Amino acid sequence: MTLTCGVDVGGTKIAGGVVDEQGEVLEELRMPSPAADAEAIESAIVDLVTDLKSRHRISAVGIGAAGYVDKSRSSVMFAPNIAWRDVPLKAHLEQRLHLDVVVENDGNASAWGEFAFGAGRAADDLLLVAVGTGVGGGLVLDGELYRGAFGIGAEIGHMRVVPQGRPCGCGNQGCLEQYASGSALVREVRAAAASGSGSAQGLLERAGGDAAGITGPLITEAAKAGDGFAVDQFEVLGSWLGEGIASLAAVLDPGVVVVGGGVSEAGDLLLEPVRAAFASQLTGRGHRPQPEIRLAELGNRACLVGAADLARR
């Protein structure tokens, strides 16, 4: 049995796991992401993989990187939320780990994980929408991962939805992830709580009276408990996301849309408004097949599972 290691490197956490040929995670480790320090991120990856390697016979490593990865799958050209700028990550890690390394965009890795082992197993064409700190994407067409001419396709979070809108970490304004991400959700709720809004009082109390203590998981917990304001915020976020997916479907025509990422743990609180907005905005609605919007099956493991499998291949 061939074992590979997948590492999911995001703006807030690094998760790594040992994965077998059936996509099963045999062991997983997590740590905070030192996102502002490129060298510290590399060291954290090396420490995590080295720890796992001490207990498992790992043949290769796949990195799911939250950034623009070149088509050779070796360098991170740019990352909106991490201090990576033209970093030859594959070469650096191979030198330190003495293992073959493949670097893949995290959205692509997640899409492949769901396509090979998760909610898209029976599909030929899949669009993955990952809603977390930002909004990531991945696309499988005719059973093959689509990367684009330069390796940076499917960066759906940086599709502009509001001209001259909110500033984004990518350098533009009005990107989808500024309205439909976990960061956007937290930003809006914190602002309401800090302004003294009565609607946000319940969430403020849950955070111990400190608006800065309001987190995505706290908002999700409140919404599941029936907090009306928290539910409304998921309605807003889901509407943005559903409209964005409808625009993408007009171009890509996917057979299945899989929604994953940390925010998707809210389940139907997120998916119901996504589906409603999608159905109301889809071009040609009522006269064309409508792709099913599904919840990711692999949860927050999709990226590391997909990265590990891509390293094996």
Q: What is the pLDDT of residues 77-93, one digit of tens each?
A: 998 778 899 999 999 99
Residue 235 pLDDT class (50, 70, 90 cuts):
very high
Q: Identify whether residues 155 and 291 lie together within a single domain.
A: yes
Evaluate whether residue 244 is within a structural domain. Answer: yes
Q: Identify whether residues 131 and 269 lie together within a single domain.
A: yes
Nearest-angstrom CA–CA distance, 82 and 9: 9
Evaluate whether residue 118 is within a structural domain. Answer: no
Give the residue numbers spanning the domain of 24: 3-112+301-312
Could you give the number of structural domains in the chain?
A: 2
Q: Residue 134 pLDDT more than 90?
A: no
- Using CB atoms within 10 Å of the CB of residue 46, give its burial: 0 to 12 exposed, 13 to 18 middle, 19+ buried: middle
User: Which range (76-85, 90-99, 295-304) has the least confidence?
Assistant: 76-85
Q: Identify whether residues 142 and 207 lie together within a single domain.
A: yes
- Indicate the pTM of the whole model: 0.89
Please tell me the predicted confidence (pLDDT) of residue 119. Answer: 96
Please tell me the predicted confidence (pLDDT) of residue 313. Answer: 87
Across the chain, mean pLDDT equals: 94
Evaluate whether residue 77 is within a structural domain. Answer: yes
Q: Identify whether residues 238 and 279 lie together within a single domain.
A: yes
Percentage of the chain lying above the pLDDT 70 cut: 100
Evaluate whether residue 117 is within a structural domain. Answer: no
Q: Identify whether residues 131 and 73 lie together within a single domain.
A: no
Q: Identify whether residues 287 and 210 lie together within a single domain.
A: yes
Q: Identify whether residues 41 and 92 lie together within a single domain.
A: yes
Q: Residue 228 pLDDT more than 80?
A: yes
Q: Which of 122, 103, 72 is nearest to 308 (CA)?
A: 103
Q: Identify whether residues 136 and 92 lie together within a single domain.
A: no
Q: Residue 48 pLDDT more than 90?
A: yes
224: domain CATH number is: 3.30.420.40
In which element (H, E) is residue 26 found?
Answer: strand 25-32
Average pLDDT over residues 152-175: 93
Q: Residue 22 pLDDT more than 90?
A: yes
Please tell me the predicted confidence (pLDDT) of residue 267. Answer: 94
